[in-house]
Structure formats: structure tokens, C-alpha cells
Structure 1
Amino acid sequence: MSHNHTDQQDAGHRHDEGDTARFFTQDFWEDRYREGNAWSGNPNPVLVQHATPLRPGTALDVGSGEGADAIWLAARGWRVTGADWSSSGLESSARTAADAGAEIAGRITWRQADVRTWDPAPERFDLVSAQFMHLPRTELHALHRTLAAAVRPGGTLLVVSHHPADRESSVGRPGSADLFATGEEMAVVLDPAEWAVIEVSAPERVGVDPEGRETVVRDAVLRAVRTG
């Protein structure tokens, strides 16, 4: 289960196809975070774009990694739950949050959980964000239904993934095509009667491929606002 923060070089996401099965084990992510500095330390830009206009409230950062998104939100007044499979990632997150100051760290609760089975409770959060979590389609839809249920009336669901088109670019993406969905494909789990806004997009940005060359990559974005 990839909870990647992708604002660093995309080359960091390239693995041999044979490694793909390990993505769905806790040991893989424990090893990744024990190596240190798996990601850039910057918040994901799509989160920054969509969360900046929102009034701070309660937020859930799913697959929180090394904590950049949770810390960015907390610095802007949000009360954040950062959930991740990896205890090593959460320990790194807590240290980084402490370095950012007691006020920011005090707004964040770190939660170790396998988000494929964890239920965060219905209608609890004003913002639920899942950035770059790749699962087989059936598990992905089940996760997105759970996350959608956790959004309060008037709250926002934001899901960002690597777009399937990236598999054809030089940056490449490991794993089967089943692990990559468009915004439209992610949105099928939402009942339009329950959401005032359902918006999908595929913004482009500059990434770096495994050979160090700049290349254009695309994100799959789903933003929805619950009727409220």
C-alpha cells in the first residue's frame, strides 16, 4: 500500500516489478522509513491548493508518511489525525512535528493503522485527504467508501493518485494497471445525492524519471464536498 508523498523526484517511486507484492506489507514501509528521508518534507501541492481556502477544522491525513501534510495543516490551525501503517514513519513524523513547535505538534494525533481495515468513524472530519495510496481496485474502492463516510456534512474529501497515463511515460509506475485509477474511476463510489460537489481532474506537473530527466507526469484528483 503506497502512501507516497510525490512532491520529490518521481524517480524515487521506481521499483522493479518483482518488488510490487512487497508494497502491500508493513515490513516494506517500515524498511522504507527506517532508511530516512523517504520523501521531500514538503506538503503535497494538490492538498495545499485545495485546503488553503478552507476554514480550519478537523482533518484526517490517510497514509501520512513522514508527516509533511499533517504538519502543514496543523500549522494553519487544523486539528489533524495522521494515520499510517508504519510505526517508523509515525515516529519520524512526531519528531518533525516537535521540531516545528509545541503548538503545531499539539494539534496532531498520530495513529498506527492498516487503513484497509481501519474505520475512522462516520462524519467525523471536515477534511479527509488521501495522497498517493495505490491499492488493487476492489480494495481501493472499499477504502474510498470508508473515507467518504468519515467526512462531515459540508466537509471535503480529497484523493490524489498517480494517473494511469504515467505508466506510458518515461517516469514509469511499478505494478499492474489495476493499481492506477483516474479521478472518474475513483468517483464511482460516491452517491451524487450525498455530495454537493464531485470534481475530477488530471493536472500535469514536472517530474524526474529514473535517469534524472525532467518529464511531464499527471495526477488523478478527486475532490468532493459533502452535502450539508
Structure 2
Amino acid sequence: MTDTTAHTNPQEFWESFYQERDQIWTGQPNPLLVREAAELAPGTALDLGCGEGGDAIWLAERGWQVTAVDISATALGRAAAHAENAGVRDRVEFAEHDLSTSFPEGEFDLVSAQFFHSPVEQHDERTRTLRRATAAVAPGGSLVIGSHAGWASFVEHAHVDVHFPTLEEILDGLELAPGQWRVETSDEVEREMIGPEGQVGVRTDTVLRVRRTV
């Protein structure tokens, strides 16, 4: 997702976002990650944009050794506290990164980028980060990208300047080397959701899972 009119510093934006309330997210893992990773053998995982830690904790509870990164120190502090409460703090390493300028070192059996959208960064920045994420996937490992395909049905048309990448755009942007990757999932998923004023609507998401074969 990109808003071409936004020029706010990303770190300032996300710090402000998380400081607005004591809890932003439900604490539950993203369902697209659960769908795609539940049957994978545990190993090492990288959670990009971990927020308050729902995905990282879910992975750790299933035996993964997780590196979880976010641009917001506030989000990371909450995530670490939640991991401690869940009894998996020793299985998750939290690190602060602005992924447009720095990236965790190493290779991972699973790299997850769930709803890795930002209203204060351009589309090409997201694409560059996801492309960099492919280099962090170990041989035989998987990259799982969950994305919004559009606004929820109850959202007004005031956001026409926001671009949601298609599955084809996401896949093309990864620039996967021919013969070295296999596309295992490329789906659109429609789900019902409740709006901030109790509106009932639907939203379409996309999920892409690719595996490095060599």
C-alpha cells in the first residue's frame, strides 16, 4: 500500500501509531501465516514488521527460533513482554530495524511479511525490502507474503491514490531467479470484517508463498 502524498518519517509515524493506544492488535497470529506455515517443519524464522508480536509468539510456540524485527521500539517492547508472558521469550530475538536502510543478517528457513504495508513509504521501497527478503531465505526455505488487495467494502472512496499491489506485481517485484524458486501458493482470500463503527463488510487479501529450491 502506498499513499503518494505521504512524506512523514516512517519511524516517527509508527512510534506515534503504537503510542496512541496501549494495545493495537489482537495478539492473535495472522490467519494467512497460520494457513501457510502450520505444516512447515520448525526451524529458524524471520518476522518482518512484527508489531506487537502475535506472529512471532505463535511461531515460537510451535518450535521455531524467531528473529522478529520492527521499526517501532514501542511495538518491540510490547512484543517482548508478550513473549515473556507466553513463556517463549528465549525463542524470540527482537531487533529494531528500519528495513529500508538495514536488514537482519543470516538465512532463515521461513521469512514472513504479513500485511507489510505502510502509508508513509513508496511502493518501490516495499518492493526493494521484499526483494531483499528473498536473499534471507535459506535453501529449501519459504517466503510467505500476506497483503491487502484493496480497501474493505465499507471504506469510502477517499483513498483512490493508494495502490495495493496485485499478486503478479508482488511476484514480479521479487525478481526470483529462474529455476531456483517454486511458487507454492498464489491466492486471493476474501474475509468478512467489522469496521470501526460496527459496519459489516468484506476485504480481499492475497497470499504468496514461494520456496527456494536450491
Shift of residue 127, structure 1, vs aligned partner? 0.4
Q: What is residue 132 of structure 1 aligned with on the other side?
A: 115
Contact preservation (8 Å) 1:20, 1:174:
no
Match of 1:211 among 189, 192, 197: 197
Shift of residue 18, structure 1, vs aligned partner? 11
Amino acid at match of 1:32: F
- Asked if 1:121 is matched to 2:105, the reply is yes
Shift of residue 29, structure 1, vs aligned partner? 1.4
Amino acid at match of 2:84: A
Shift of residue 21, structure 1, vs aligned partner? 4.2
User: Once the two structures are superposed, what CA deviation does each residue of 1:115-136 show, in whole Å capped at 9, x if it has no partner?
Assistant: 11223336x0000000111242
Shift of residue 174, structure 1, vs aligned partner? 5.1
Structure 1 unpaired stretches of 5+ = 3-16
Q: C-alpha distance in 2, partners of 1:181/1:91?
A: 31
Match of 2:161 among 171, 176, 184: 176
- Asked if 1:85 is matched to 2:91, the reply is no
Mean CA deviation greater in 155-164 or 69-78: 155-164
Q: C-alpha distance in 1, partners of 2:53/2:45?
A: 13
- CA RMSD, Structure 1 to Structure 2 (Å): 2.3
Q: What is residue 5 of structure 1 aligned with on the other side?
A: none
SS state at 2:141 partner: strand
User: Once the two structures are superposed, what CA deviation does each residue of 1:72-105 show, in whole Å capped at 9, x if it has no partner?
Assistant: 000000000000000010000111111111xx11
SS state at 1:221 partner: strand
Amino acid at match of 2:114: Q
Structure 1 length normalisation: TM-score? Answer: 0.83
Mean CA deviation greater in 126-135 or 77-86: 126-135
Q: C-alpha distance in 2, partners of 1:133/1:175?
A: 19
Structure 2 length normalisation: TM-score? Answer: 0.88
Query: How many percent identity over aligned positions?
Result: 43
Count of aligned pairs between the two proteins: 207
Residues 174 and 80 (structure 1), Cα distance of their counterparts in 2 relative to 1, 3 Å cut: farther
Q: C-alpha distance in 2, partners of 1:125/1:205?
A: 30
Residues 44 and 129 (structure 1), Cα distance of their counterparts in 2 relative to 1, 3 Å cut: same
Q: What is residue 14 of structure 1 aligned with on the other side?
A: none
Amino acid at match of 2:99: V
Amino acid at match of 1:89: A
What pairs up with 1:187-206 in 2 under 5 angstroms? Answer: 187-188=171-172, 189=174, 190-206=176-192
Contact preservation (8 Å) 1:171, 1:215:
no
Q: C-alpha distance in 2, partners of 1:223/1:141?
A: 16
Q: What is residue 221 of structure 1 aligned with on the other side?
A: 207
Q: C-alpha distance in 2, partners of 1:19/1:208?
A: 27
Amino acid at match of 2:198: G
Structure 2 unpaired stretches of 5+ = none
